[in-house]
């Protein structure tokens, strides 16, 4: 299992992914799940992946092959005119790869599905973020839901739901993405560092940063501790129940003393 998240903000895009890959509890490895394509100076795409690793790698290889040897009568990332066309193209590649291996995988009881998030921008078009399902169709992030998740998403979702909005700065979005990843790691052992993080400022057509955080990274540890301390402080400051207040008043109220006589 894995976890990846993308944020679509007014200032640009944020991408974050873990790198843990499991083939059973006794075989754990690390693979990058963030793939960057800059097929020409007027465009940039970032692809996040979750699902069958072999399927994902074959999809990425097909995308790169189509860039190196452009098909005469087919699309590639250098030819598409809109981001949704890039999503349609990658969805079609993914579906074709899955169909090719589906019979053999089914006989082995293995799922060959992969789910993808693509984000980026083509010059003259707005930046955007889309989730591509295993079936090849896609949805788009929106101002009402400015984030998309794939993989083990449930544990990292609460922080996003409470904080994310399109007006966040890229740096704020990057910190929030790290918090979402770390929260998932805390609750699910199939997700773990190293974490990859990338930011894209709109209209720049280049990544602002792409960095990696290992488990013992000092900044990652400081973000985790600050988040945990903040949650504890918020919990301790929650309003008390009405009966707690009444009990407190009653305990503080002086009591009459009845004298005892021998």
| pLDDT at residue 170, rounded to an integer | 98
Question: Does some domain include residue 126?
Answer: yes
What is the number of helices (H) and of strands (E) in the chain?
A: 6, 12
Question: Does some domain include residue 228?
Answer: yes
Residues contacting residue 184 through CB under 8 Å, at least 6 positions apart: 3, 18, 152, 153, 155, 156, 191
| pLDDT at residue 213, rounded to an integer | 94
At 246, which CATH number? Answer: 3.60.20.10
Tokens standing for 205? 């057509």
Question: Does some domain include residue 258?
Answer: no
141-166 average pLDDT score = 94
Q: How confident is the model at residue 109 (pLDDT cuts 50, 70, 90)?
A: confident
Structural domains counted in the chain:
1
Q: Whole-angstrom Cα distance, residue 196 to residue 201?
A: 17
Question: Does some domain include residue 259?
Answer: no
pTM value is 0.88
Q: How confident is the model at residue 22 (pLDDT cuts 50, 70, 90)?
A: low
Residue 39 pLDDT greater than 60, yes or no: yes
| pLDDT at residue 110, rounded to an integer | 85
107 exposure class (CB count in 10 Å sphere: 0-12, 13-18, 19+): exposed
| pLDDT at residue 31, rounded to an integer | 82
| pLDDT at residue 252, rounded to an integer | 54
Over the range 165-194, which residues count as b (16 or more CB within 10 Å of their CB) and which as e? Answer: ebebebebbbbbbbbbbbbbbeebebbbbb
Contact yes or no for 118/47 (Cβ under 8 A)? yes
Question: Does some domain include residue 262?
Answer: no
Q: Which residue has the tokens 């740096």?
A: 171
Residue 259 pLDDT greater than 80, yes or no: no
| pLDDT at residue 262, rounded to an integer | 43
Q: How confident is the model at residue 69 (pLDDT cuts 50, 70, 90)?
A: very high
Q: Which residue has the tokens 């010059």?
A: 123
Q: What range defines the domain where residue 102 resides?
A: 3-252
| pLDDT at residue 4, rounded to an integer | 95
Residue 166 pLDDT greater than 70, yes or no: yes
Q: How confident is the model at residue 50 (pLDDT cuts 50, 70, 90)?
A: very high
Residue 191 pLDDT greater than 70, yes or no: yes
Which among 100, 4, 87 is positioned nearest to 49, based on CA atoms?
Answer: 4
Question: Does some domain include residue 257?
Answer: no
Tokens standing for 161? 């739901």
Residues contacting residue 208 through CB under 8 Å, at least 6 positions apart: 12, 170, 198, 199, 200, 201
Residues contacting residue 70 through CB under 8 Å, at least 6 positions apart: 76, 78, 79
Query: What element of type H or E holds 176?
Result: helix 170-187
Q: Which residue has the tokens 């990652």?
A: 220
Instruction: Considering only residues 255 and 111, tell me which one the structure prediction assigns the higher pLDDT.
Output: 111
């Amino acid at each position: 299992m894995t976890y990846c998240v993308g944020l679509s903000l007014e200032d640009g895009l944020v991408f974050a992914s873990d790198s843990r890959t499991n083939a059973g509890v006794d075989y754990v490895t690390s693979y990058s799940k963030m793939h960057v394509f800059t097929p020409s100076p007027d465009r940039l795409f970032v692809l996040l992946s979750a699902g069958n690793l072999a399927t994902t790698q074959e999809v990425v290889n097909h995308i790169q092959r189509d860039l190196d040897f452009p098909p005469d009568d087919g699309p590639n990332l250098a030819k598409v005119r809109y981001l949704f066309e890039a999503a349609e193209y990658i969805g079609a590649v993914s579906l074709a790869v899955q169909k090719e291996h589906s019979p053999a995988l089914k006989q082995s009881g293995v799922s060959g599905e992969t789910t993808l998030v693509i984000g980026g921008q083509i010059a003259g078009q707005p930046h955007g973020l889309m989730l591509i399902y295993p079936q090849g169709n896609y949805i788009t992030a929106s101002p009402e839901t400015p984030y998309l998740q794939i993989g083990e998403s449930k544990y990292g979702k609460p922080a996003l739901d409470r904080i994310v909005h399109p007006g966040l700065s890229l740096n704020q979005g990057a910190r929030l993405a790290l918090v979402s990843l770390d929260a998932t790691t805390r609750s699910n052992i199939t997700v773990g560092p190293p974490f990859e993080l990338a930011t894209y400022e709109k209209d720049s057509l280049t990544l602002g940063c792409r960095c990696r955080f290992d488990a013992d990274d000092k900044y990652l540890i400081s973000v985790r501790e600050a988040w945990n301390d903040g949650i504890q402080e918020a919990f301790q400051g929650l309003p008390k129940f009405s009966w707690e207040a009444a009990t407190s008043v009653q305990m503080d109220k002086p009591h009459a003393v009845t004298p005892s006589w021998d």
